[in-house]
A = this chain, B = another copy of it.
Amino acid sequence: MTFTAHQKRQAAQAQYADGLELCPARQLLEAISSKWVTLVMLELADGELRHSELRRRIPGASQKMLTSTLRSLERDGLVTRLLTLSVPVRTDYELTPLGHSLLGVIHGLKEWADENMGQVEEARGGYDRARESAG
């Protein structure tokens, strides 16, 4: 019996998914290695924010992406959703203590980007010039 590339890929992915179930910490690492998680967590660093305020501050995120990111952060215990029973209902989000501990690591990523941007831009310039002269 032979398998197509597509079938082999599906089998590898199924195996990968099985492996992930066995390794929840890796799954968690993948979940927190996300641009939207980084941006939402950094916006919540200084205190609670309304859903609409988060949308305004992260306009690159679609409503759907922002909602699913917040739901996943809430489910993981990183963010608390605060409901105010006004009309209309007001929803705020704030970091939990666990969220603050993750924020510390995310701050490390942000500091790295701030400190090394110059070197990265230099590398990009060199890469682009090399490709231009090769092309």
Which positions in A face B, CB cutoff 8 Å?
9, 12-13, 15-17, 24-26, 28-30, 32-35, 37-39, 59-60, 62, 74-78, 98, 101-102, 105-106, 108-110, 112-114, 116-117, 119-124, 126-128
Shortest Cβ distance from A131 into B: residue:
B75
Asked if A108 contacts B110 (CB within 8 A), the reply is: no
- Are A59 and B26 in touch, CB under 8 angstroms? no
The answer to whether A59 and B105 touch (CB under 8 A), given A34-B34, A120-B28, A127-B74, is no
Q: Is the CB of A123 within 8 A of B75?
A: yes
Contact B109 A123 (CB under 8 A): no
> Quick check: B98 and A120 within 8 Å, CB to CB?
yes
Q: A33-B34, A109-B105 are contacts. A24–B121 as well, Cβ < 8 Å? A: yes
Closest to A60 in B: B16
- Whether A102 contacts B98 by the Cβ 8 Å rule is no
Distance (Å) between the CB of A99 and the closest chain B CB?
A: 10
Check B24–A76 contact: CB distance below 8 A: no
